[in-house]
Amino acid sequence: MTEPVLVVAGAVLDGHRMLLAQRDYPEAVAGLWELPGGKVESGESPDQALVRELCEELDVEVSVGAALRDVVSPTDSLTLVAMRAEIVSGTPRAVEHRALRWVDGTELAHLVRDGALVPNDLGWAHEMIAELQVR
């Protein structure tokens, strides 16, 4: 059996806010918000992949922290892990996304309520809302 594809996503944190990125494609998720990230390539650790992906997608350098507790497996062939991250240099810009925004716990809860988060990332919503509300 082939191993599932591993995707790492960044819960990029700044105080009580987290960065969300608005997808531009594919059509099914265009306009919805996600934690930026992408596939771990062969020979890379998850941390290295997240540093590379956030450099490509946001044009920033990050330091990677602890993973969120919840691992998301939307299909047998896809596993998503989210890791906390902090920007160590640069100002994020939407290189591959339609837009970026910083949200606090209340704003994140509203996006979830309104169906504005990509479905896969809903698996992290509760943990992140709770964490943002106590930061």
Residue 37 makes contact with ligand C5P by CB under 6 A: yes
Residue 40 makes contact with ligand C5P by CB under 6 A: no
Q: H-helix or E-strand containing 134?
A: helix 125-134
Tokens (6 digits) for 111 = 């996006």
Q: H-helix or E-strand containing 74?
A: strand 72-75
Residue 39 makes contact with ligand C5P by CB under 6 A: yes
CB of 111 to ligand C5P, least distance (A): 13
Q: Where are the alpha helices (DSSP H) in 4-119?
A: 46-58, 105-113
Contact residue for ligand C5P among 13, 121, 128, 132 (CB under 6 A): 121
Rounded Cα distance between 78 and 122, Å, is 15
Rounded Cα distance between 12 and 100, Å, is 12
Residue 34 makes contact with ligand C5P by CB under 6 A: yes
Residue 9 makes contact with ligand C5P by CB under 6 A: yes
CB of 89 to ligand C5P, least distance (A): 22
DSSP state of 31: T
**Site for ligand C5P, residues 48 to 107, rule: CB under 6 A:** 80
Binding site for ligand C5P (CB under 6 A): 7, 9, 34-35, 37-39, 80, 118, 120-121
